[in-house]
Structure 1
């Protein structure tokens, strides 16, 4: 194994958990190398646009990672679209695909609006939301082991297999989401009314399982 490559990848993984950026010293301490070594690694990653420094010299992930991830996410979107279309039409609601951005945030990767239905929720693809707000993030947290002080909604989602939120991302909008097995991705619905949470939950679980089977 290449130790240099290993250290460089460690830096990227470390920065994933610090969206506000880190100092060079924090990075060196975080991966257990001398500051001079960390400096060379960061300069190399900067040259490939995999990390960047702001005007305060804090280092964060760079836009080059988006280019690298695009083929993977494109495949994900291609496989997910027909499943989201069917889910949205079934519930006559907006269906969404959400990915985990880092420890604190999730990103709306794909939105599919129902082809029928008088009213539906509209979101902007690429929207970033806190992981502890909204059904998509709650479903992801429910897939992890319980932690002290976690929200009751997370424990309930862990028990039911799907998460529900009310007005947390947008006022008056209900979210119902389930995790795609083996992935840090959720499939869900956004709607104005949820008269039968269990039925909606079964629908999103089935959709998530179908996508999971395609991604194996």
Structure 2
């Protein structure tokens, strides 16, 4: 969270500083499971408490945050409404396939899209068939040149100067693996979802390497299935 917030503040220096602060406050609230107080937001932004309060009140007026019984601010329902408008067709077709795959493999499954120089998780499904599995939140951003999902998304583009050597291998074999590159002790396997714009990849993640490696064929089939079903409704090439 700190990196993205710092980048937002930097952009705010040449754009709207108030807007940048408001967005940073919103991201901070979203990333905090227990919510944040006005004082905590003020400390996070490095501003006076009164400024943080006005930002939060504006976000609250528009339904982006809501104040809980304890006084802390929590994500508001408006965020759920907005999230449904992002790539609705792709997500509609992907989610049932992701649920089947997660339960079959006992692994967390995530849908990533390319956004600038990042791979962004826009949907995540955790298995219901096992009690222990790797967990993280949708919205996670990772550099394209780090981790299985990023490698696959890079491999879907023409070769770039200085790109990781593994990306060339991914173009040849059609999938990518990684170990501990995004989260220590976590293994990932990713495959490109074909014929979709923006570029999208499906990734399986687990703390057990053998579990991830055994997921190759089911993952490739799932990615192909999503691409085929969403081909004519989500901006396919």
TM-score by length of 1: 0.66
Q: Which residue in 1 is equivalent to 2:96?
A: 82
C-alpha RMSD of the superposition:
3.1
Question: Is structure 2 residue 15 aligned with structure 1 residue 57?
Answer: yes
Tell me how far 1:101 sits from its aligned partner.
1.4
Aligned length: 165
Do the aligned residues in 1 keep the contact of 2:145 with 2:163 (CA within 8 Å)? no
Tell me how far 1:122 sits from its aligned partner.
0.7
Tell me how far 1:58 sits from its aligned partner.
7.6
Do the aligned residues in 1 keep the contact of 2:105 with 2:211 (CA within 8 Å)? no
Give a deviation string over 1:15-58, Cα, whole Å, max 9, x none: xxxxx69xxxxxxxxxxxxxxxxxxxxxxxxxxxxxxx724338
Do the aligned residues in 1 keep the contact of 2:189 with 2:213 (CA within 8 Å)? no
Tell me how far 1:74 sits from its aligned partner.
2.7
Q: Which residue in 2 is equivalent to 1:211?
A: 226
Which residue of 99, 108, 118 maps to 2:113? 99
Do the aligned residues in 1 keep the contact of 2:204 with 2:212 (CA within 8 Å)? no
Which residue of 173, 192, 203 maps to 1:188? 203
Distance 1:131 1:171, change over 3 A: same
Q: Which residue in 2 is equivalent to 1:40?
A: none
For residues 196 and 127 of structure 1, the distance between their equivalents in structure 2, rounded to whole angstroms, comes to 22
Give a deviation string over 1:88-135, Cα, whole Å, max 9, x none: 112110011011111x11211011000112311111111121111111
Question: Is structure 2 residue 86 aligned with structure 1 residue 128?
Answer: no
Q: Any unmatched runs of 5+ in structure 2?
A: 1-6, 24-78, 232-237
For residues 208 and 57 of structure 1, the distance between their equivalents in structure 2, rounded to whole angstroms, comes to 39
Tell me how far 1:196 sits from its aligned partner.
6.8
For residues 139 and 126 of structure 1, the distance between their equivalents in structure 2, rounded to whole angstroms, comes to 18
For residues 123 and 196 of structure 1, the distance between their equivalents in structure 2, rounded to whole angstroms, comes to 18
Do the aligned residues in 2 keep the contact of 1:153 with 1:164 (CA within 8 Å)? no
Counterparts of 1:1-216 in structure 2, within 5 Å, are 54-57=12-15, 70-102=84-116, 104-183=117-196, 184-195=199-210, 199-216=214-231
TM-score by length of 2: 0.61
Tell me how far 1:70 sits from its aligned partner.
4.6
For residues 212 and 83 of structure 2, the distance between their equivalents in structure 1, rounded to whole angstroms, comes to 34
For residues 101 and 190 of structure 1, the distance between their equivalents in structure 2, rounded to whole angstroms, comes to 21
